[in-house]
Structure 1
Amino acid sequence: MTRIQKYVAATAVAVALVGAPAVSYAASQGKAASGTHQRVTEAKAAVVEAAAKKAPAARIVAPGEHVKVPGGAEIWLTKEGKYWTTPENPEPQFRSVVDGNIDLTQPGVSMQSEGVAGHYFLSGLYYGGKGTASRVTVETKSAAVRGKLLELAGRPGWGVWYATAEVPASDDKGGLGYVEKVTVRTTQGKVYAQLKLN
C-alpha cells in the first residue's frame, strides 16, 4: 500500500470508531441519560459527604473535663449545663439546661460576656437545631470572630460555644452592645441556631 492509501484507510477506521458510539447512544438515549444522571447525583452526594467529613465539629468532652481558654478562663460541662471561671472571677458560674429556662426543642443561642485580660471572653449555650453543629461565628461591631464548640458525648441536643474578642476603646456596655450576632452552623453550612443582639 502506498502512503496515501494507508492514510485514507486509517482515516476511514477512525471515522467509523468515532461514529459508532454516537449511533449506539442514539439507540439507547433514554437509558444512557438515566445512567448519567444517576452517576452525577451519586458524585454530588459523595462530594457533600466528603465536605461534611472535613467540616470542623464540636469537641467532645467528658462530663467535668476542664477546657482552658486563652486568657485564663476555663469551661466544663455536666449533664446539667455549662460551668465556667475566669481569672477575675474564680468562683464557678453556671448556666443550666435542665431548669426549664431554655427549650431544647427549639433552636437557640445564649451569651455571657466578661472582660478577661484586655479581651472579651464570650460564651454561651446552643441548642435545639437540626443537623450537627460544626462552627460558630461571632459578629462584632469591628470584626467577625471564629469561636469553638464543646459538647458531651451522645448527642445531648445542646452544647457550649466560646470565643475571645478584642475590647474596643469606646465600649462601655460589657460586650453586650459590641456583639451583634452569634451564629452556629452545621457541617452542611446551614444555620443551626442564631442569636441577634442588635
Structure 2
Amino acid sequence: MTVHKRKRGQASLVSVAAAAMLATGFGVAAASGAGASVTATPVPAAAVASAGGVQTVTPGQRITAGGDTVWLTAQGLSVVAPKSSGTSKPDLIRVTDARPGKWTAMARGDASGTLWAGIYRGSVSSSTKVTVKVGGRTLDAEVATLAGKPGWGAFYVVDTHKVGKDKPVITVQN
C-alpha cells in the first residue's frame, strides 16, 4: 500500500492529517514513488554535527533510528527498515516528491513499532522542529539536513507502537 500526502498551506507551520495507515496494523505505508530505485555508496558513520536540534550530515552518512537506518543524499532521504520490509533494499523519498513549503512522509512498521520519516522542502534552521502526533501520542522527530543549506531537511522518529488506523498529524515549525 502506498500513501502519498502533501501539506497545503504556509511553510512556517505545516500541520495536516495524513491518510489512514494500514487497517490491519501491519506492513508498510510509504510516500515514495512506486518503482523508485536507489543507488547509494555507503559512507562510514561519523560524528553528527548539530546546530541546535538539527543534525548536519554528510551525503550518505548513516543514521540509526531504532533498528532502522536513514541517510540523506542530494536526491533525498533513503530508509532501510529490514524488520518491517524483510529486505535491506532502501526506499527513497525524493526531494522533488515534496513541493516547496510542503512535506511528504512514510511510515514503516510492524508489531514492535513504527518508523516515521519524511522530507520537508523549505528553509531548515537550528530552530526547526517536527512533531508527529498519532494515537494520542506526540513524538518529537529528529531533524537532519545536508551542509550548505540545500533548501530541505529530513525528519525521522521511532514510535514504539505498531502502524495502525490512527491518522497522524505532522507539524513542521521554523
Q: Into which bin does the TM-score normalised by the smaller protein fall?
A: 0.5 to 0.7
* 2:82 maps to which of 84, 87, 112: 87
Q: Which has the larger share of strand? A: 2
> 2-side partners of 1:125 and 1:115: how far apart?
18
The answer to which of 148-157 and 130-139 deviates more is 130-139
Which residues in structure 2 correspond to 1:39-188 (within 5 Å)?
56-70=52-66, 72-88=67-83, 89-97=87-95, 100-103=96-99, 106-116=100-110, 118-129=112-123, 134-167=128-161, 174-175=163-164, 177-186=165-174
Q: Which has the larger share of helix? A: 1
Q: Larger relative contact order (C-alpha < 8 A, sep ≥ 6)?
A: 2
Q: Determine helix, strand or coil for the equivalent of 1:91.
A: coil
AA in 1 matched with 2:146: L
Deviant stretches of 4+, over 4 Å: 129-133
Unaligned runs of 5+ in 1: 1-54, 169-173, 187-198
Alpha-carbon spacing, 1:117–1:64, altered in 2? closer, same or farther (3 Å): farther
How much has 1:159 moved relative to structure 2? 1.0
Unaligned runs of 5+ in 2: 1-50
Give % identity: 26
How much has 1:111 moved relative to structure 2? 1.1
- Provide Cα deviations, 1:113-169, integer angstroms capped at 9, x if missing partner: 01156111110001125865522111112211111001000110111100111326x
